[in-house]
Amino acid sequence: MAKTQLNVRVDEGTARAARERALARGISVNRYIEELVRRDTGEAGRTFVEAAADFMREYEKVFAEEAGGDRR
């Protein structure tokens, strides 16, 4: 999908909150904003699946260790 640049102005508190939420989720502010817009426009299911896939990739080794080893 082609990307386009969108510049927005927000107050410092909103910018700080966006940065903190993105950091907490381990994603860029850009992706965080994209996910918020998708959710608001009805693409929540897709956003959820993408976030779940990212989570599983990130924690796959932890789950394998907890389950008693790599089960591939």
Query: Is residue 72 situated within a structural domain?
Result: no
Residue 18 or 52, more confident = 18
Tell me the helices (H) and strands (E) count for the chain, helix number first: 3, 0
Three-state DSSP at 31 gives helix
pLDDT tens readout for residues 13-32? 999 999 999 999 999 999 99
State residue 17's pLDDT score.
Answer: 96
Query: Is residue 2 situated within a structural domain?
Result: no
Identify whether the C-beta of residue 31 lies closer than 8 Å to the C-beta of residue 18. Answer: no
Q: Which domain range does residue 26 map to?
A: 12-66
Query: Is residue 59 situated within a structural domain?
Result: yes
Query: Is residue 20 situated within a structural domain?
Result: yes
Residue 10 or 38, more confident = 10
Query: Is residue 71 situated within a structural domain?
Result: no
Query: Is residue 21 situated within a structural domain?
Result: yes
Query: Is residue 30 situated within a structural domain?
Result: yes
Is the pLDDT reported for residue 70 higher than 60?
no
Residue 22 or 53, more confident = 22
Quote the number of domains for the chain.
1
Query: Is residue 25 situated within a structural domain?
Result: yes
User: In angstroms, rounded to a whole number, what is the distance separating the alpha carbons of residues 59 and 63?
Assistant: 6
